[in-house]
Amino acid sequence: MRGSVFYFFSAFLPLPSGERAGVRGLRYLRLLLHANVSYHRAVTTQTNPANQTDTAAPPTPLLDVRDLAVHFHPRSALFSKTPDPVRAVDGVSLAIHQGQTLGLVGESGSGKTTVGRAILRLIPLTSASVTGRVTFDSANVLTARGDQLQKLRREMQIIFQDPAGSLNPRMRVWKIVAEPLLVHKLATKPDELRTRAVQLLERCGMPASAADRYPHQFSGGQRQRIGIARALALDPKFIVCDEPTSALDVSIQSQIINLLTDLQRDLGLTYLFISHDMAVVSHTCQRIAVMLRGKLVEQGPREQIIEDPQHAYTRELLSAVPTV
Ligand SMILES: Nc1ncnc2c1ncn2[C@@H]1O[C@H](COP(=O)(O)OP(=O)(O)OP(=O)(O)O)[C@@H](O)[C@H]1O
Ligand SMILES: [Mg+2]
């Protein structure tokens, strides 16, 4: 514990002149890592999802992705040669155990969102060929149809980066939150839908009075809470968090991350946490996968990725962590 305290404060010590900003960034990441571990050791003996090790995980992952490839069909211009497909995702394999979080990091355009959307079966077959195998709780996701696909659509949800864009501006908040229940015919009576929406909003730190207002009447952080409440409506097992804090002020980001961590602990949720920010991922995920131009270049436990990165691109991402 004393070592951790020293480590925490050592990150703020001045660096020798000429030391690269990246080294300071790495020090900051280690600070996050050690502060997180020491906090949980000191404050609670309870198992916290953010610090579970691989050895504690059950043998069969909840989500198992093998050799996933997504090639978008480009629109060909009149009289021109058909262009090559966009290989947005090319041979991605990853697994996430129940109750854990895998962080998927990489630069813009590397294919992170496409991986998430393919896992959720949100890519129309007319726009891309999706190959490989995605197994969720023993179900074959890419071939599921009918009732099995409906069940998967309930169990797997997504939280978007831009809460303003993902919430219908013309709907009252309670209707936005309760809409999935109506779509899946799990509740139909307005009273029942409204009551459930208020419960979900309160669970996400919003007052009951928010229910009758419209999305534009809230701040970015509050809108993200509404988006999270909606994602929880169908009682999912797994959520793709697609850059859920990237559009928010730094001060609000940690509140949303804390909410997601609390929900994971209380509801046993499993997350794929997409981000371009190593600092955020190091704080929230047990494992980290690094993506570059459609492929995974490295993945492993977060301590290993942060302390001993093997790929030059991972080192580049780590060196981009801002100075504290
Ligand atoms: N519907 C589509 N049709 C054609 N190409 C697409 C489509 N969606 C994504 N792409 C391409 O696939 C690649 C990966 O995009 P994706 O949105 O998955 O990246 P990302 O890592 O999530 O980026 P960002 O960090 O900016 O969100 C990009 O080259 C993108 O232009
Ligand atoms: Mg994206």
35, pLDDT greater than 60: no
**Nearest ligand (C-alpha, residue 104):** 1
Q: Is residue 3 part of a domain?
A: no
Q: Is residue 186 part of a domain?
A: yes
> Does the CA dihedral 8-297-160-229 come out positive or negative?
negative
Q: Is residue 313 part of a domain?
A: yes
- Ligand 1: which of 72, 123, 129, 159 to mutate, most ligand atoms within 8 Å of CB? 72
78, pLDDT greater than 60: no
Mean pLDDT over residues 240-269, rounded? 95
Q: Are strands 287-292 and 86-96 parallel, antiparallel or unpaired?
A: unpaired
- Integer-rounded Cα Rg, in Å, for the chain is 21
Dist CA 284 CA 258 (whole Å) = 9
* Helix, strand or coil, per DSSP, at residue 139: strand
Dist CA 183 CA 314 (whole Å) = 42
- The residue whose CA has the least distance to atom 11 of ligand 1 is 88
pLDDT in tens, 191-206: 999 999 999 999 999 9
Q: Which CATH number characterizes residue 237's domain?
A: 3.40.50.300
Number of domains in the chain: 1
- Comparing 94-108, 162-176, 280-294, 310-324, which segment has the lowest mean pLDDT? 310-324
DSSP states of 152-194 as a string?
HHHHEEEE-S-HHHHS-TTS-HHHHHHHHHHHTTS--SHHHHH
Domain range for 257 is 47-319
Provide the Cα torsion 130, 135, 141, 142; round to 10°: 20
- The residue whose CA has the least distance to atom 28 of ligand 1 is 109
pLDDT value for 244: 95
CB 291 within 8 A of CB 110: yes
Q: Is residue 202 part of a domain?
A: yes
- The residue whose CA has the least distance to atom 26 of ligand 1 is 108
Alpha helix stretches (DSSP H) within 50-189: 112-119, 146-155, 163-166, 173-183
pLDDT value for 67: 98
For ligand 2, a single-atom ion, the residues with CB < 5 A are 113
Q: Is residue 33 part of a domain?
A: no
What are the angstrom distances between the C-alpha of 153 and each of 159, 187, 220, 287? Answer: 14, 16, 26, 25
> Does the CA dihedral 211-216-221-225 come out positive or negative?
positive
pLDDT value for 58: 58
- Ligand 1: which of 75, 114, 166, 278 to mutate, most ligand atoms within 8 Å of CB? 114
**Nearest ligand (C-alpha, residue 89):** 1
- Comparing 26-35, 274-283, 287-296, which segment has the lowest mean pLDDT? 26-35
21-43 helix and 312-319 helix, angle to the nearest 10 degrees: 80
Please indicate whether residue 33 or residue 16 has the higher confidence score (pLDDT): 33
Q: Is residue 25 part of a domain?
A: no
pLDDT in tens, 96-135: 999 999 999 999 999 999 999 999 999 998 999 999 999 9
> How far is the centre of ligand 2, averaged over its atoms, from the C-alpha of 51 (Å)?
26
| Residue 283 pLDDT level (bands cut at 50, 70, 90) | confident
> How far is the centre of ligand 2, averaged over its atoms, from the C-alpha of 274 (Å)?
8
> How far is the centre of ligand 2, averaged over its atoms, from the C-alpha of 318 (Å)?
19
Mean pLDDT over residues 304-322, rounded? 92
Q: Is residue 24 part of a domain?
A: no
Partners of 289 in beta bridges: 104, 299
Mean pLDDT of the chain: 85
45, pLDDT greater than 50: no
Give the CA diameter of the chain: 71
**Nearest ligand (C-alpha, residue 107):** 1
Mean pLDDT over residues 208-236, rounded? 97
Read off φ and ψ for residue 104, nearest 5 degrees: -110, 110
> How far is the centre of ligand 2, averaged over its atoms, from the C-alpha of 87 (Å)?
15
- The residue whose CA has the least distance to atom 16 of ligand 1 is 111
DSSP annotation of 51 reads G
87, pLDDT greater than 90: yes
Residues with CB under 6 A from ligand 1: 72, 86, 88, 106, 108-114, 127, 276
pLDDT value for 56: 55
